[in-house]
Amino acid sequence: MYLFSLGSESPKGAIGHIVPTEKTILAVETNKMLLPPHWSRTFSWGFDDFSCCLGNYGSDKVLVTFENLAAWGRCLCAACPSPTTIITSGTSAVVCVWELSMTKGRATGLHLKQALYGHTQAVTCLAASVTFNLLVSGSQDRTCILWDLDRLTHVARLPAHRDGVSAVAISDVSGTIVSCAGAHLSLWDVNGQPLASITTAWGPEGAITCCYVVEGPAWDTSHVIITGSRDGMVRIWKTEDVKMSVPGQAAPEEPWAPSSPSPRVHRWEKNLALCRELDVSVALTGKPSKASSAVTALAVSRNQTKLLVGDEKGRIFCWSAEG
């Protein structure tokens, strides 16, 4: 593990978004995200007047201020599935899909394309996948809603979680959905059917703050999930297929025949197994700390040999898997 420095472009607060490119690593603070495909522009929110801004990466200069978002309350999260589509939500509990207008390469406005209603409390996290035309919103009302990203319509509502949803992610390879609520981690298929779940830690300090799905080959049915928590721990999970034995349906018998036990049948289920725990404090000082900084952002390099971790102090750590 080593501490990664971004030099003069280092974020000024807790890390909110990390993008590894072929040549370097880009990162911005919370309430800000980098826009694809070139990652040279940023979209930021969380201002006192509820406005949002478009800017250049590594600069405090604001290119455009969008004040029409203020009508939808305080923005708490955002996602950008394409260069001209920005999705926001927050205290209004309404998911807003915006279209970014461009003229000669310059942003000229942000126009509401669709407002999506379904949550009853503030929306705290968003994830989008263009590959599967899927948008997932997580809320303090303990639910996640799946939306069709193309038609902008409701698809499904996941069963209620144990706590308010704090982080969501989507695999662009399998469409698997990851949702985190408190210290509880859940996996769902692209249609919203449950795959696996586990409690990752105990106590409020173990609450999950961010998650990431490591993309594997399409033929591999296993999944690697990475979670970051308030306690400064990074946990790496992998799904395992386990054969379960359950009572089967007994064959019909004649009324006078003696009863026989129901046959046992087997089915395969997915379990989540902890592969590794990475402690930022131990990696830095060689011993655990009672005041560990919360993990706030996660990313994996394109060749999947480096794990990038951002914390609430604005630091980025890199674990290398090479060798």
Q: Say if residues 60 and 43 touch (Cβ distance below 8 Å).
A: no
Q: What is the pLDDT of residue 323?
A: 42
Distance CA 85, CA 111 (A): 10
Q: What is the pLDDT of residue 105?
A: 74
Confidence of residue 219 (pLDDT cuts 50, 70, 90): low
Pairing verdict, β 106-116 and 95-103: antiparallel
Distance CA 112, CA 241 (A): 44
Average pLDDT, the chain: 88
Compute and round to an integer the Cα radius of gyration of the chain: 22
Q: What is the pLDDT of residue 60?
A: 79
Q: What is the pLDDT of residues 179-188, one digit of tens each?
A: 999 999 999 9
Share of the chain above pLDDT 70, in %: 87
Confidence of residue 212 (pLDDT cuts 50, 70, 90): very high
Distance CA 161, CA 168 (A): 12
Looking at residue 24, its amino acid is: T
Higher pLDDT, 74 or 253: 74
Q: What is the pLDDT of residues 26-48, one digit of tens each?
A: 999 999 999 999 999 999 999 99
Looking at residue 312, its amino acid is: E
What tokens appear for 32 in the block? 């800000």
Q: What is the pLDDT of residues 260-319, one digit of tens each?
A: 555 555 565 788 999 999 987 777 777 777 778 999 999 999 888 899 999 999 999 998
What DSSP assignment string belongs to 279-309? EHHHHHHSS--TTPPPEEEEEE-TTS-EEEE
Q: What is the pLDDT of residues 125-179, one digit of tens each?
A: 999 999 999 999 999 999 999 999 999 999 999 999 999 999 999 999 999 999 9
Q: Is the pLDDT of residue 109 over 90?
A: no
> Could you tell me where the DSSP H helices lie in the chain?
280-285
Q: Say if residues 160 and 146 touch (Cβ distance below 8 Å).
A: no
| Sequence-distant contacts of 214-221: CB under 8 A, at least 24 apart | 214/300, 214/304, 215/171, 215/172, 215/173, 215/304, 216/173, 217/173, 218/173, 218/174, 221/174
**Which residue segments constitute the domains of the chain, with CATH numbers given?**
15-245+263-320 (2.130.10.10)
- Closest CA relative to residue 212, chosen from 312, 300, 313: 300
- Closest CA relative to residue 198, chosen from 141, 140, 239: 239
Q: What is the pLDDT of residues 44-95, one digit of tens each?
A: 999 999 999 999 998 878 889 999 888 999 999 999 999 999 999 999 999 9
